[in-house]
Every structure is written in structure tokens, then in C-alpha cells.
Copies of this chain bind each other. A is one copy, B any other.
Amino acid sequence: MESVKVMDSESVPLTDGLNRVLAGDVVACMDLPPFSHATVDGFAVLHEDVEQASRERGVPLRVVGTICAGSVARKTVRRGLAVRIMTGAPLPPGADAVVKEEDTSPRKKTTPLIHVEKPVAAMENVASTGEDVRRGEVVLEKGTALRPENIGILASLGLQQVVVFRQPEIALLSTGDELVGLREDLGGGRIFASSFYVLLAKIRESDCIPMALGIVGDDGASIEKRIRSGLAANAIITIGGTRRGDSDWVRDVYGKMEIHSQIDGVAMSPGGSFAFGLLKGKPIFSLPGSPTASVVAFEELVRPSLLKMRGISGGQSLARPTVKMSLGGRTRGKRGLRKYVLARIVVKDGRFTAIPINRARRGAVTPMVQANGIVVLPEGESEVHAGEEVLVRLVDLNL
């Protein structure tokens, strides 16, 4: 995380800002609401005038005008006077409260005289200038991702443009002599490179821009060349070749390319053969090739860095939301390794349960399809039984 740099900033139209991350605090350039206004349809009055009002003894007031939403108050409200006012219309000068229409009689709209039948407190049914946001206040902090509601408050302030961090471009390369891309022929002994397409989509889902470098065989020179072409991006992800077998290239290529290795193996399972290095300051994340391992290593070790590059900080966590829930099956930890178990999270009677998918054999693609969460088991071989509580990352909430 420390080696990964936050992107530069750029200005984009607010309407293109969804999920982009603020590159600076946004300070309110005006009060919200910008002027005191009625929050109901009724009559702007002086509250002292109607202190004694009751259903039996209405207080008579002379109506001297009407203010609609969007117009400006011209008439001043003095003792004995009232101005008909609509929701959202500015409180006229002199008035300090609004009586609801239903607390007056008669209900005719044109009458020049009304009777107020209920008292109001000062500023009742009025939203006053700056009660929601004060000019000069920080409304959203640097590092906040723009949800629709956040876009709303910036729109309230009239911001047409917003300064956000650039979206990182992430190069993706898959390696393996047995792998082919979707446009190639399968041929004998070969399989389609599913993890490449999973990761391409995960990069996009992380609100980064994928740069597809494609699929190459387990040949150091070709991999080197392809990695160099990825230097145009802000970071590089490779898939495959991370173990210490005959055809596994990561350590050779890292050595030859003078990639400054920072991580070579992580005490976790699956995904433990993950490697990370820097080439000319650019982060290179090397994921294991197995579908389950690549997904787990991406979620645990890459995605938080991509979110950091996007500029997310402040209160927001860089990990998926992680909560305790009941295990709906049994599973087992591993000695000396943090174990990650793909799980299907279901909601029943308002409670989450995580059903572990233990059948995550190397190469199998169905477990990751069934899973929408990852159980995190602490180091140790102990068995966890159905009904016990475990910590689970919520990967996908569309349960």
C-alpha cells in the first residue's frame, strides 16, 4: 500500500462525477438553504400576532399578497398582516413564522381576510438560511467517492465542475502455455483464460480503466516485452506463473527486468504465491493463475491498492465491508496461514449466513460463481462448525 501512489487530479463535469473521488475538500460557497423559506403551504405571519389563536377564537389577519416558490418577497409583513406563501417560497421581510393553511379559515384562496386558528412558534414551518449548511463549511472531504447523494449536495451549491482524481489505468496480462483468449482456437490441451476475463471485469468494477495486454505463453522474453508495454498504464497486474515450479516465470522475469520485488509470497491460502514489485516506480501485482486464488488475492491484496490509487481515503475503508455472521456449514483453517474460504452469503429473517464453498479445487470456476463473500479464518488448523460465528468480507451485496 505504501508503494502505491495516488493519481493526479482533473476537473470533470459534476454530472460525470459518479463514483469519482474528490481531490480536495469541498467548501460550501453559500448557505443552504440560501434563504429562509416556508416548508409548508400557508401564511407568513408575525408569531406574536397569533399567540392567542384557537379554533374557537381565530385571530383575523389581512392578506396583503402571495409569494410563490421561485419568486421574491416584496411585501413586508407587519402586525395584523399576513402573506399567502407556498412551500419553498422565501419568507417575506417582517414575518418570522408560517401558519399552515389548514390552521386558518376560511379556506377560499382569494379572501382578503383570514382567521388563524392555532398559534405558531417563532420560525415554525420555516427553514432558515444556512440551517443545513453554513457557507465556508466543508461539505465533503477530499478522498470521498461521489455517491448520487454526494452529487446532490454539490449540485445544491451550484457546482458545475468537480475536481477529482484521475481514474487509474490498469494493465492486465495473463500467462500460461495452456491458455487461449476468446478469439483463439482452443486446440488440444488448452483452455480459455477465464481468470483474464474475471480480472478485466474486476478492474472495471473497481472503477479503474483496464488495459488488456492479452495472454502470452510461459516464455520469459515474451512476458518481459508485454510487461514493458504495460508501463503506459498506472499499474500492471499479471496472472499465472507465481509458484516455484518449472514453468513459473515470476522470479526469473522480476530478476531480469530489475523489478524491485517487495512481496514474494504471503502467508495466506489460497493466493499465497502472490508477488508484488515496482518497475520504474510502477506497481506490478502478480496473481496466481488458479481462478479461486486469483480472485482471493485480487480482493485481499490488489483491490485496496487500486482504491488507494483512485484517491479513496477519509472514513471509507479500502477493504470490502467485513462483518461477523453465522457459518452455514463447516470448514477448517490452515496452520501458519490465513485461510480464505469462498462463501455464498444468504439473508434469512434479516440475518446473514455464510455457506462455505469448500470444493474450490485448483482450476474450478463454479466456486467463484456461487460465492459472493469470503470467510476469513485466522491462522490455525481448528475446524469451524455450522452455527459458529466467522468474519466475512461482503464482496457482492446483490445476494
Write the residues of chain A forming the contact surface with B, with a CB cutoff of 8 angstroms: 14-15, 17-18, 32-35, 37, 39, 41, 67-73, 86-90, 109, 127, 131-133, 139-140, 145-160, 176-179, 182-183, 186, 188-202, 204-205, 212, 217-218, 243, 245-247, 291, 295, 316-317, 320-324, 347, 349-352, 361-366, 368-369, 371-372, 391, 394, 396-399
**A177-B71, A351-B323, A369-B152 known; A364 and B202 CB under 8 Å?**
no
- 22 example contacts (A-B, Cβ-Cβ < 8 A) are as follows A15-B212, A34-B191, A67-B189, A69-B177, A69-B178, A69-B247, A70-B177, A70-B189, A71-B188, A72-B189, A89-B189, A127-B363, A131-B361, A132-B364, A132-B366, A149-B295, A149-B368, A150-B369, A151-B200, A152-B195, A156-B191, A316-B399
**A132-B366, A199-B148, A366-B132 known; A157 and B192 CB under 8 Å?**
yes
SS class, residues of chain A in contact with chain B? loop
CB distance from A34 to the nearest CB of B (A): 6
Taking the full assembly, how many copies of this chain does it contain?
2
Q: Are A192 and B148 closer than 8 Å at their CB atoms? A: no
Q: Are A324 and B295 closer than 8 Å at their CB atoms? A: no
- Contact partner of A350 among B37, B146, B322, B397, CB < 8 A? B322
**A145-B398, A188-B72 known; A153 and B322 CB under 8 Å?**
no
